[in-house]
Homo-oligomer: A and B are copies of this chain.
Amino acid sequence: MSTIKRLAVLTSGGDAPGMNACIRAIQLTASACNIEVIGFHHGFNGLLEQEYQSLHSHHVDNIIQRGGTILKSARCPALEQTDGPARAAEALQQLNIDALIVIGGDGSFRGTLAISKHYSGQLIGVPGTIDNDVDGTDNTIGFATALDTALDAIDKIRDTADAFERIFLVELMGRHSGYLSLAAGIAAGAEQIICPEFGTLSPANLKPIITPIQHAQLLKGKASYIMIVAENSYPGGTTALAEALTEAIGIECRACILGHIQRGGSPVGADRILATKLGAYAVEQLLQGANLMMAGEVNGEAVLYPLAKTGDRTKAIDPFLVRWQQQIGSL
């Protein structure tokens, strides 16, 4: 058992729907254990600059349904400087922080690990990113919402694509991961999905993606054709890909870059529940002595996973769905 009197929390990296729900669960759980809670602003920047606020229950009232993060998020280049981690640890000590919870992705967890070298308190991570590219948890906070936000947009594009009989390329976020693209593509009934996991796409060889388009146009007479394209799948981006395709097949292909709308919005139920569970679990595990771990959920159970392994990229996207999409869904 660990004695924690003062707990800090921050949100780091790209914001994700559900971060507020997680802050709320942390505050409520810690308060119930008589732990004081403070929140740093702007991710690690607020830690370095000691910009923070006390978090009381009225601060987290009615935020479970809000997008964004009341603590603001940010990347923090300052933490990556040579003395950054030591300065961050110093700030934690000065403020008598016994434990810090970092809500973010694996990049934020690397920063957390760097701080640990200089800090005697406990550090724990909670996975919050729409990309779902963090090892040690089935889902990250924000993924389920981003999926539904993307779907809502793709359904609308389907309406107009169908009315106009057009080919659309819809670019989704995901950094180096195709999680969101595969899920959204399956769920939208997309005719084709292009993501890193399916192999590299080269301007010199567009045939593998052109053939199914021509096949669909010829054989099935489908009114619309939607391709989901994970960002970073093509040199020059999805707009360049659309232009290359248009030229290659002689039918206009339009690009639609969904962009940052995928980050916002009220979190869906699954994200609120996951955020609540992981936030509460993180506090409970800190009290049990957990350190340098991430609070994740695997097969429905809250579990700890070493922070150091969260960025190993060993989590595979559902092989059943990959196979089905390639063999049948894209017919």
Contacts and interface: CB of A to CB of B under 8 A. Distances in A.
Interface of A: 11, 14-15, 17, 19, 24-25, 28-29, 32, 42, 57, 61-62, 64-69, 72-74, 138, 144, 147-149, 151, 153, 155-165, 168, 183-184, 186-189, 220, 222-223, 254, 256-257, 259-266, 268-270, 272-273, 276-277, 280-281, 299-300, 302, 318, 320-321, 324, 327-329, 331
Contact of A157 (B64, B188, B264, B324): B264
Contacts of A272: 151, 186-188
Contacts of A277: 318, 320-321, 324
A261 B318 contact: no
A273 B186 contact: yes
B72 A328 contact: no
B147 A269 contact: yes
A157 B302 CA distance: 31
A266 to B, nearest CB: 7
Nearest to A156: B264
A162 B220 contact: no
Contacts of A329: 28, 276
B155 A266 contact: yes
A86 B25 CA distance: 47
26 contacts: A11-B163, A14-B160, A14-B164, A65-B188, A65-B189, A66-B159, A67-B163, A68-B160, A68-B162, A69-B163, A72-B162, A72-B223, A74-B165, A148-B148, A148-B269, A153-B153, A156-B260, A156-B262, A158-B264, A163-B263, A183-B269, A186-B272, A254-B259, A256-B261, A299-B300, A300-B318
Contact of A64 (B73, B189, B257, B262): B189
A152 to B, nearest CB: 8
The 6 A-B pairs of least Cβ separation, nearest first, read: A156-B264, A159-B264, A67-B159, A15-B163, A68-B163, A160-B263
Contacts of A65: 151, 155, 158, 188-189
Contacts of A144: 269-270
A148 B263 contact: no
